[in-house]
Amino acid sequence: MKLKIIRLFAAIVMLFSSLVFCQTKTDKIEDQFEFAKSRIKDLRLSSYITAHAVRDLLNNETGRREALSVLRCNGITKVYIEVYRSGLAVDKKLLSEVKNYFVKNNFEVVGGIATVPGDTFGVKQEGKLGWFNWQNEKTQTDLKNVVKISAEIFDEFIVDDFLCTGDTSAESKSAKGIRTWSQYRRELLTKISEEIFVKPAKEVNPKIKMIVKFPQWYDRFHLFGYDLSTKPKIYDEVWVGTETRGQYTQRYGFVQPYEGFINYSWIKDIVKDKIGGAWFDHGDCDKNDFIEQAYQSVIAGAKEIVIFNYFDLINGHEGHHLLRNQFEQLADLAKFISENPVHGIKAYKPINSDAGGDLYIMDFMGMLGVPIIPVHEYPSNCNVIFLPTQAASDKNIAEKIKSSVNKGVKLICTAGFLSAMNNDFLYNISGIENISKANPFNSDQIIENSKEIKIEHGLDLECNLKLKEADVLLEAIHENKSIPFLTKNNYKNSEIYVLNTHTFSQEDFDKVGEVLLCPKPLGLLEIPKAWTNEIREIFNLDKDYKIDAPARISIQPFGKCNYLIHNYNNSVQQVILSFEDSSIEKLKDKLTNSTYEFVNGKFTIELAPRSRIWLTKNN
């Protein structure tokens, strides 16, 4: 009897243990990787693994196990395996092994290539940067061979942002003929895209998806072979660089965080449904620079972010914690933006347009709190239109402006645009005398409340504007003379504003040997709050909201009563918001769940340094 009882007890224990064990196996702990997988439809994080990392870190089981741990803990669910960079072509067998390993472990896998020369691979250009001479037959042959091998392994393949050239060799000069360097390079790289990349890859693997990634230096694309009127038609998908990095440092240019949004939005406007994800890196980034790149990528509409590169993930970066910690908020924002995109002021930049002295001006307007949205076609149906020098590349722009002002609009143009156009009608409606030639200069003083004040870096102006009948709203002092910086003129039912801004020109780049990125800091972002408010207000037509804030505070409206407000300053800043809609009594920050009360007719918000809020109505 005792034996039966013992056996029964043992059976019960075994059954209970079995049930507990099964329960343990089915109740999966949701770590960062599992949570990221659950949000893939909203936002995906990916990592780019360079050729040298593949060779040095993924050539054995130990390195691959480490990769799984590092990638999973950062919520990365997709990898890009590079096949070639700087003379290193990864062994085909190793590429296949690494790809299969990641696939087996539930990662999506894409191939990639960085088209930069090596000692015996291709031919380096004669020029400032380490790009290829694409005219040379060896360059074309070497890369074509790599592409064919890659197409045997991968069903998706991305070409990193070195598909450009500044070569000035005798070989390229001869091929250029009477064409401009810009025209020659754009036509050459269009041909290269088709004949060296897409066509050979699809001959080997007809189902392969070919992707081209554009860099972030959008106002310089056309000079070095990036043509958005041709390349997107050749590739299956277009990716966008949003790598703005450190705004206060020279290493990668004094690039403004808003540039990531501008670049992605402009390219998306051109390529439409072919738009892919965004791509940024760790270069020159502190933790705030790093996470700011993520937010501007997402609010521009990116549904996937590629983090460059795997070496940085291995070594660690303080921005990784912020990305892990704020991934859920980023995914929520991405989901909402997909159905409620940012709306704002349309800035006209045609494809392949020269910027004159307005290089990257849209970035700086965004940093002054103007919700700039770049478009590649003239925004004829808009009530507020921003026309920098880039717009002058449209040969029919004067007639389009006539049509707009006859309907009644707010037209804001730069002095550089007027100078580039040199059009009597435009001078007439703006109330400005003819600008025979732009003559940029730097003023160290401006006028605020009838007082002369100095600003850091001085204020760059395009020319000494002479007025016919326009009113001066803001003015600077140069050589003891008052120079208009912002003017207003009424024409029929329209308001015409002229901004006498100068950001950068080719001459500014040449002075410091810069080729692609912002060459110096600008006093435009050091102007007092009263100036910032004045500039922001001239762009505000609908007046559904009003913001009182200093420079380096951006505001991006989206959906109905949703605003992403970002403090890019290194200090606490106060933002005061008021709304036309009197029913708005409370606001909620959807990033932190904080709430703000309507007091004395306004919302007063203290923004921590380098922070952001997603405000929405919370009545």
Give per-residue pLDDT as tens, 141-153.
999 999 999 999 9
Give per-residue pLDDT as tens, 277-296.
999 999 999 999 999 999 99
Instruction: Share the mean pLDDT of the chain.
Output: 95
Give per-residue pLDDT as tens, 182-195.
999 999 999 999 99
90 pLDDT higher than 90: yes
Instruction: Pick 21 or 537 by higher pLDDT.
Output: 537
The pLDDT of residue 21: 45
Q: Which residue has the tokens 């091998």?
A: 149
CB 487 within 8 A of CB 431: yes
Average pLDDT over residues 447-460: 96
What is the secondary structure of 145-207 as a DSSP string?
Answer: HHHHHHHHH-SEEEE-S--------HHHHHHHTTS-HHHHHHHHHHHHIIIIIIHHHHHH-TT
Instruction: Pick 542 or 234 by higher pLDDT.
Output: 234
169 pLDDT higher than 60: yes
The encoded tokens of residue 457 equal 């870096």
CB 269 within 8 A of CB 533: no
The pLDDT of residue 250: 80
The pLDDT of residue 29: 65
Report how far residue 471's alpha carbon sits from residue 474's, in angstroms, rounded to the nearest whole number: 9
Q: Under 8 Å CB-to-CB from 539, ≥6 apart: which residues?
A: 345, 365, 370, 384, 386, 410, 412
Give per-residue pLDDT as tens, 340-381.
999 999 999 999 999 999 999 999 999 999 999 999 999 999
The total number of residues shown for the chain amounts to 619
Most distant CA pair in the chain, distance: 115
264 pLDDT higher than 80: yes
Give per-residue pLDDT as tens, 237-254.
999 999 999 998 887 889
User: By 3-state DSSP, what share of the chain in percent is helix, strand and coil, each rounded to 5?
Assistant: 40, 25, 35
Cβ atoms < 10 Å from Cβ of 47: 24
pLDDT-derived band at 9 (thresholds 50, 70, 90) equals low
The pLDDT of residue 13: 44
Average pLDDT over residues 593-597: 95
Average pLDDT over residues 441-456: 95
Give per-residue pLDDT as tens, 549-578.
999 999 999 999 999 999 999 999 999 999
Angle between the 137-153 and 92-104 helix axes, to the nearest 10 degrees? 40
DSSP letter for 390, please. Answer: G
* Consecutive H or E run containing 65: helix 61-73
CB 423 within 8 A of CB 396: no
Of 572, 571, 574, 586, which is closest to residue 617 (Cα–Cα)? 586
The encoded tokens of residue 392 equal 């002058």
The pLDDT of residue 419: 97
Of 293, 298, 296, which is closest to residue 277 (Cα–Cα)? 298
CB 307 within 8 A of CB 281: yes
CB 352 within 8 A of CB 227: yes
Average pLDDT over residues 118-138: 96
Average pLDDT over residues 423-439: 94
602 pLDDT higher than 80: yes
Average pLDDT over residues 215-243: 98
Average pLDDT over residues 111-130: 96
Report how far residue 106's alpha carbon sits from residue 101's, in angstroms, rounded to the nearest whole number: 9
Minimum mean pLDDT range among 404-408, 434-438, 455-459: 434-438
Give the pTM.
Answer: 0.94
Average pLDDT over residues 415-439: 95
Of 417, 350, 411, which is closest to residue 384 (Cα–Cα)? 411
